[in-house]
Amino acid sequence: MIRISEAESRVMHVLWDNAPQDAEAIIAALAGSADWQDKTIKTLLNRLLRKGAISAERDGRRYLYAPVLTREDWQADESRSLLERAFDGRLAPMLAHFTRHEKLSEADVAELRRLVEAIERRQTPRTPQ
């Protein structure tokens, strides 16, 4: 599993939103959110490359970078890590935590209800045939 650091993940977000991009564009995209020198971002790009989290295709004198690790796979890795580390792998307590401790908008609640119902339909066919 490709493990990326917090700082590296911020660079990944830029590429997940739009790829491929060259270093200059990535630096520009991060100018607002992160207070980093351009060299810092180059370092992060190189580390991501070495880890195989992104690819680099030469384009003249520059490289075009693109994600290899997908956002979904990374979210899955991080989520599973939290689940194991903090909730002993048990999903229900974790979901209970989120619903109790995070403020849910009405839209969140509606979404959650839809999810539950979708799962129930898939999992426990209520009236067979």
Judged by the rule CB under 7 A, the positions of this chain that interact with DNA are: 3-8, 22-24, 35-37, 39-40, 42-44, 46-47, 61-63
Q: Is 67 helix (H, G, I), strand (E, B) or coil?
A: strand
Closest CA to 81 of 14, 2, 8: 2
Q: What is residue 127's DSSP assignment?
A: S
Pick from 108, 125, 127, 129 the residue near a second copy by CB under 8 A: 108
The H or E element spanning position 66 is strand 62-67
By CB under 8 A, tell whether 3 contacts a second copy: no
Site for a second copy in 24-43 (CB under 8 A): none
**Tally of CB atoms within 10 A around 126:** 6
Positions in the binding site for a second copy (CB under 8 A) = 6, 9, 74-76, 78-80, 82-83, 85-87, 91-92, 94-99, 101-102, 104-109, 111-113, 115-116, 119-120, 123-124
